[in-house]
Every structure is written in structure tokens, then in C-alpha cells.
Amino acid sequence: MKKISCLSVSFALLSVLLVGSIFSCKKNIYKQTTSDEVNITGYLEQHADTYSLLLEALEKVKASGYLGAYGTYTLFAPTNDAVKKWMAENGKTSISEFQDADLMQFVKYHIVRDTVGSLRFTDGKIKSPTLFGEYLYTDVQNGSFRINKAATITQSNIACGNGIIHAINNVLIPPKYSLAEIIEKDTRFSIFAQALKETGFYDTLYFERGEEISDEKRFQTVIVESDSVLNSAGIANYDQLKSKYSQTGDPKNHTDSLWLYMAYHISNGGSYLEDIASSSSIYTLAPKEIISTKLSGTKVLLNDDVFNGVYEPGAEIDRANSDVTAINGVLHQSKNNFRIKVRVQVPVYFDVASSPELVLALGSTYRNTSKALVSNSKPIANSIGFENLNVVTIGTNMYRYYSGLTTKRPYANGDLLDLSMCTNNAGRVKYVDFKTPYLVKGKYKVWVCYAQNGNGSGMQVTYNPDKTDEQVLPNIVFFSQTLSSSGVSNLADPNADNLMLAQGYKRYFATAGDYNANGVTGGILAKTGDGSLNVGRLAGVINVETTDRHTIRIQAVSDVRCASNSIYLDMIQFIPADDPEQIYPRFHQIPGELFYRPQ
């Protein structure tokens, strides 16, 4: 018994030795932390030789605490050299000589409460404001990113635990003046400045930090015309400007044209050229008046439009002298004179298959062959939108062109949009949006012109969907209906047009007996039979509040039989509601051939 226990003791000892020896050659060094990454303050402390002065300032205003804790920040960190330069400019020799309030402003202007890496820099403002409440502007010069056109980033995207640091070679100083003061101080803007004062807009553009002001008016954009621009437009001084525009004699009156002229140069919100060029219009302070904008090559053009088929050359922005940041917004300069265009309401016969954007996108396909409207999951023209772009049948939505002069289902200009739309099928497009041509403000009757297909869905038409001025039109347009659905039994009756009109139907395609100045006779429809397949249907009346390009949505709300390519959409006509002529002119396959009431 004793022997056995002795054996078992030595057995156990040996076992321990054996087990221990197996692990003998591994060193166990365990990492105590989850990350070596420091926070922003930690980084500055590690690089004290470069950032000691900044750190001192941060500590003095107690910002180093939150920059060392959790959060998402972007710090534009001026190096010691930059801070020294700034101190010298202010006649100080150390950080401690500054007032706490000044340092607070300095620190707040260098911090954005968001992580903004250089990948998010554009030719405009950083989309989140600084803690100071104003925006920073970024651009590129000599291959380096620049902030506020004053400081160059010397090292970007330093990743820290709670944000990003960009080292800069100059301290960022908030702008000193408001828009009103900048314009007033610049001798090149003397006429414009005087007009601002006379119309009262000087006060609109004047702002001092700390003033109470509504959010939408905190930042503004003004496009200035210099004296030389006005001179070349034939205006030598303020008096001439006043006599040219001020019809009431009181420029402060909101119906006075000089007041409107100045209002037309100002808009709410701080928009840099990048913002202006990416949107298609600027909403100005002149009620319901917009400036259309576009980018042509690298030029930003204002009011450069084709209106009613006539090209109107616009005013070019002077890029070099624009994007000037003020306390309360941005100042741009125009190279040419521009003003509100007085427009009268005109009918707009919108051939959806021949919109300028689509024609450009179609290139050689236009009036030549068919082409899918969506390619690479994107509409080929930005004037057309689909809901949604990922359905399997998206590729069947086509631009189509027929060159022959047929009398069964012809199309204006020979082309149409051949769409596959249904409401109750996940595989099909639900609605399609069109950007309209310019519509001068006023009321319009909206006529949807299509060729009938027995499987065509019922479509609801919406003006400016999802906008504040959204208007859903009352009549559902059934693309399966012929003109007979108007209830008029004898379509050949001389009075049939008027009877149909009363029911909200019309012929939009040339039929026998219509007058054409060039005597075109090919492809003319009969009044009955095939002639009843091209239908104009009144969707309703819209009230256009702003002269601009708007959106029209056509949405499937009922299906006959969900079939592919059963929507033959040809035109959408906007005819002024008080225009007695809603029926003529009628259209034809040959572009430009219009048919009028028989004389």
C-alpha cells in the first residue's frame, strides 16, 4: 500500500513536469490595450514640437478635454509656425496674452463636429459648419488642398481615435465683413452698392455676429455686377439705373422694378459656385423668380437657356473673383449684366421623346433607331427618372423611332417613349418622371397625348411630386382608351372636337381636313377608325408658381393586363388654362409640320 502511494506521488510529480515542459518554449506576452490609436489631444501631445502652441490654446479654453474624449471631430491644426505668425500679426508674444474669448473663437473656428477626410472636400464649403457656426471653404491650389483660400493643408487625414486632423500652415481667421460691407468697401461696385442702399437690401445683407436672425437668412448669396459690367450694359451711374428700372420712383416698394432687379441678385443660403453649378436654378429674393444655372465646360452660366426654341445667351460668372466668403454668406461676380426676364405664358408642346437632354443622350440614335432609356442602371438622360431603376424589365423602356408615314398609331416627330409600366407587378416600373421645358408661371391645362394600346395602364399625373407645390391632377389617363371613350359617338361629326373637349379629350394628331401651310398630305389620319387611336387626354390644370423647369410624374394606378411595352407616350402639352385654343395645332410625323384649324 505504501509502495503504491509512493509510486503514485512520483507519477503525479512527473505528470506535472511533463505537462509543464510542453509549454516551456512559449512566451506569453499579452497586449493590455485594444488599440494604440490616440485621440486628437493625444496626437498633439505626441507631436508637441509641432503643435505645442495649439495645445496650449486648447488647454486654455478647456477644449483639450473633449478633443481627448469620445466624439467625431475634424481639427484643422495650425502648426507652431502658423500660430507664431498669427501671434505676431496680433502683436502678441505668447498664447497667454490673448483674451479667452479670442482664443475660444480661434479654437471653435478650427473644429468641425464631423469626420471630414479630404475625400469629402469639394470646390465649396465643408457641408458641416465649424463649432463657430460658420462654414469653411475648400479648394485646391498647386496640387494642395486649401482652406478658406488662406491656409494650405500640409498633412491631411491624420486618423485619431475620435476624428481626423488636417495640419495647416496658417491660422484660419473668420471673415471680417458682411456681404453688405464687402460690396460697400469695393470701389468697383459703387453703382450696385448705392442701389443696395436705396432699395433697402443693404440691411438685408448686413450682419454682425451675435445678431438674432432666422436660420434661412443667416447665410445669403449675392451675385454682384461691377460698375464696368453695368457700364457696358449702358448704365453709367446709379441715376441711370434708377431711371431705367424704377417705374414707381420708390425703389423700396416691393413692386418697383429696381427693387425686383436687386432682389433678383440675392438668394437665401450660402451657395458657392459648386452648389450653383450642381443645381439647375437659384431661387432669388424676387418672389417666384429664379435664375437658371448651368455648367458649360468649366464656365458657370446664368440664364443661358433655350426658351420657346430661341437660344438666349446668358451671363457668365467670373470664377476668379467669385466664391468670396463673408460673415453671412458668399459673394460672386458676374461678367455680364442679367435681370429678370419678362415672360408671357405660352403653350408648351412637350414631345417627351425629343427633350433636349434626351436628344443629346441619343446622339446618332435620335430619329434613327430605337434605344433603351436606361443603361448601366442610370437613365441615359437626366431629364427622365424611373421608379425603380432595378426592376428586371427596366431595359424594355425604349425610345422608338418610326421613319415611315403610317396612318395607324403615328407619333409626333416620328418618335415616342415605349414604356413598360404597371402598378401591381414588382418587375415593372411604377412611375416615370419628366423634367418639363420652361414653364412661365401661370395656370396650364395638362394634356397627355398617347397612342392607344389595349393593355395600357391607367395613369395618374402629378406635378412637382414631393415638393411643397405638389399638385395631383384629377383625371386618370387610361392609355387603353381611344377617342370613343369620350362618349362622342360620331367622331366624324364637325362638332365632335368641341364635344370631346367638353369631356376632356382631344385629337392631337393631324387628321383629314386640317390646314397645313406646306400642303403635307402623307400619313394623314381619317377622323374615325385608326384616327381614333391617337388620344389627347386632359389630366387637369396645374398652377405653375415659378418660371422654371418642373417635374411631371406619370404613375400607373390601375392595370388592364400587365404587359410589356404597352404605354405609347408621345407628348405632354401644357396649354395656358385661359387659352381658348386647346385643340390646335395638331402634330405630324414630320418634325415642324403643324396643322391648324381649317380656314
Which parts of this chain interact with other proteins (CB under 8 A)? Answer: 7, 10-11, 14, 17-18, 21-22, 24-26, 117-119, 121-124, 138-145, 153-157, 273-274, 277-278, 295, 297-298, 319, 360-361, 363-365, 371-372, 375-378, 395
Cβ neighbours for 117, distance < 8 A, ≥ 6 positions apart: 156, 157, 164
**What is the three-class DSSP state of 101?**
helix
435 closest CA partner among 318, 552, 289: 552
User: In angstroms, what is the minimal distance from the CB of 362 to other proteins?
Assistant: 9
User: In angstroms, what is the minimal distance from the CB of 133 to other proteins?
Assistant: 23
User: In angstroms, what is the minimal distance from the CB of 374 to other proteins?
Assistant: 8
42 alpha carbon, distance to own chain's centre: 41
Instruction: CB nearer to other proteins: give 34 or 142.
Output: 142
Task: Write the CA distances from 562 to 39, 40, 162, 400, 455, integer angstroms.
Answer: 59, 59, 54, 20, 7
User: In angstroms, what is the minimal distance from the CB of 50 to other proteins?
Assistant: 15
User: In angstroms, what is the minimal distance from the CB of 288 to other proteins?
Assistant: 26
Instruction: CB nearer to other proteins: give 295 or 501.
Output: 295
User: In angstroms, what is the minimal distance from the CB of 418 to other proteins?
Assistant: 15
User: In angstroms, what is the minimal distance from the CB of 297 to other proteins?
Assistant: 6
Q: Which amino acid does the sequence have at 234? A: G
- HSE-CB at 147 with a 13 A cutoff on CA atoms is 29
Q: How far apart are CA 132 and CA 112, in angstroms?
A: 9
442 closest CA partner among 567, 304, 315, 343: 343
* C-alpha dihedral (400, 406, 411, 412), degrees to nearest 10: 120
**What are 251-255's contacts with CB under 8 Å, separation 24+?**
251/195, 251/198, 251/199, 251/200, 252/198, 252/199, 252/200
User: In angstroms, what is the minimal distance from the CB of 278 to other proteins?
Assistant: 5
Q: Are 95 and 60 in contact (CB under 8 A)?
A: yes
Instruction: CB nearer to other proteins: give 21 or 187.
Output: 21
Q: How far apart are CA 549 and CA 352, in angstroms?
A: 14
User: In angstroms, what is the minimal distance from the CB of 334 to other proteins?
Assistant: 18
401 closest CA partner among 353, 462, 463: 353
Instruction: CB nearer to other proteins: give 125 or 339.
Output: 125
Instruction: CB nearer to other proteins: give 96 or 118.
Output: 118
User: In angstroms, what is the minimal distance from the CB of 244 to other proteins?
Assistant: 35
User: In angstroms, what is the minimal distance from the CB of 26 to other proteins?
Assistant: 8
- HSE-CB at 427 with a 13 A cutoff on CA atoms is 8
Q: How far apart are CA 496 and CA 494, in angstroms?
A: 6
Residue ranges of alpha helices (H) inside 316-398 are 356-362
Q: Which amino acid does the sequence have at 372? A: A
- HSE-CB at 7 with a 13 A cutoff on CA atoms is 4
Instruction: CB nearer to other proteins: give 371 or 527.
Output: 371
Instruction: CB nearer to other proteins: give 118 or 228.
Output: 118
In total, the chain counts a number of residues equal to 599
